[in-house]
Amino acid sequence: MTLEKHKGKLIVITAPSGAGKTTIVRHLLSEIEELAFSVSATSRKPRHYEKEGRDYYFLSAEDFRRKADNKEFLEWEEVYHNQFYGTLKSEVQRLWDSGKHIIFDIDVKGAVNIKSAYPEQTMTLFIKPPSKEVLFERLRKRNTEDEASLQKRFRRAEDELAYEERFDDSLINDDLDTALQEAENKVRQFLELSVNPEWKQK
């Protein structure tokens, strides 16, 4: 599938797991009506609170590989063994056809790939934790995984933190309210929308 040319912009929010990118994305969607969320596809099992088509498109590993072979993804990656994540071209086209700019909540490698595909239309924003230790503590407090899975996430997070210099901008998610305001300012400026004058760009 080939994406049609479009003037819409792409906002890619990326971070290691636990850095708070999903919270920031939800805030941006609630405050900037010009944005629409790109729902990623994954081959992992849904968590109890996740819904098909809202949080992810849940595919079997076999279906995911078939779509990858058919070039149906804008970007995709095998994040863990036999656990795939990716952005369907059909999802991007659907949102562009609705007249929206698109916001993504994806991993660092996916962010790099989207920026490479649409360098002029894309802003990549990297969300940093205050420290590696704080990040690991946040992941542990989720209580969603066993110790072996947590250790895999810790190792991956260390690798992802090294990607910061490859993105257009970054911010530290230490104080959440400040991080939300900074992220909204940065996105509004990229989309050339009005910025709240009470917020000071850092």
Say what the pLDDT of residue 50 is. Answer: 95
Is the torsion defined by CA of 143, 81, 130, 87 positive or negative?
Answer: negative
Mean pLDDT for all residues in the chain: 90
Say what the pLDDT of residue 202 is. Answer: 44
Say what the pLDDT of residue 199 is. Answer: 54
Read off the tokens for 90: 């059909």
Q: 113 Cβ partners below 8 Å, 6+ apart?
A: 74, 75
Q: List the chain domain ranges.
A: 10-191
Cross-strand pairs, 76: 86
Range 76-96 average pLDDT? 93
- Identify which has the larger pLDDT, 6 or 10: 10
DSSP alpha helices (H): ranges in 70-131?
A: 89-97, 108-117
Q: Which class would CATH give 10-191?
A: alpha beta
Query: Does position 108 have pLDDT exceeding 60, yes or no?
Result: yes
For residue range 111-127, what is the model confidence (pLDDT) as tens digits? 999 999 999 999 999 99
**Residue for token digits 């071209």?**
89
Say what the pLDDT of residue 13 is. Answer: 97
3-state DSSP assignment of residue 66: helix
Question: What is the bridge-based pairing of β-strands 56-58 and 40-42?
Answer: parallel
For residue range 159-197, what is the model confidence (pLDDT) as tens digits? 888 888 999 999 999 999 999 999 999 999 999 987 766
